Amino acid sequence: MRVKVRTFARLRELFGKESFLNIPEGSTITKAIEVMCSTVDEGRKEIFNDDGSLKSYFILIMNGQRISLQDANSILLRDGDDIALFPPVSGG
């Protein structure tokens, strides 16, 4: 199946504006992000902790609705789903 992952700020520099991923049926949000990171080692370090969990400061949006990071490992994706991954943003 195919899903889209959109990235913002620093992540956009690493991955580009959006990635269209072919992932197996039954994949979770976390799995899709792992697939996206498989070609960008620096990106993996930016997004995942050493234990493989998503870093706690990211914001996940799936199909327009915010998803808790704790649920990213259990929510199954469907063909055509749209994931947005926002890193922390600072400024002043």
Q: CATH number for the domain including 31? A: 3.10.20.30
* pTM, two decimal places: 0.91
Could you tell me the pLDDT band of residue 11, with boundaries at 50, 70 and 90?
very high
User: Beta strands 65-67 and 59-62: pairing type?
Assistant: antiparallel
Residue 92 belongs to some domain of the structure? no
On whether residue 57 sits in a domain, the answer given is yes
Parent domain of 11? 2-86
- Total domain count, the chain: 1
Residue 64 lies in a domain: yes
Beta bridge partners of 28: 76
Q: How confident is the model at residue 92 (pLDDT cuts 50, 70, 90)?
A: low
| Domain membership flag for residue 61 | yes
Q: Where would I find the beta strands (DSSP E) of the chain?
A: 2-7, 18-22, 59-62, 65-67, 82-86
Q: 91 lies in a domain?
A: no
Confidence of residue 90 (pLDDT cuts 50, 70, 90): low
Query: Using one digit for the tens of pLDDT, what is the confidence trace for 38-77?
Result: 989 899 999 999 998 999 999 999 999 999 999 999 999 9
59: three-class secondary structure by DSSP: strand
Which residues sit opposite 62 in a β-bridge? Answer: 65, 83
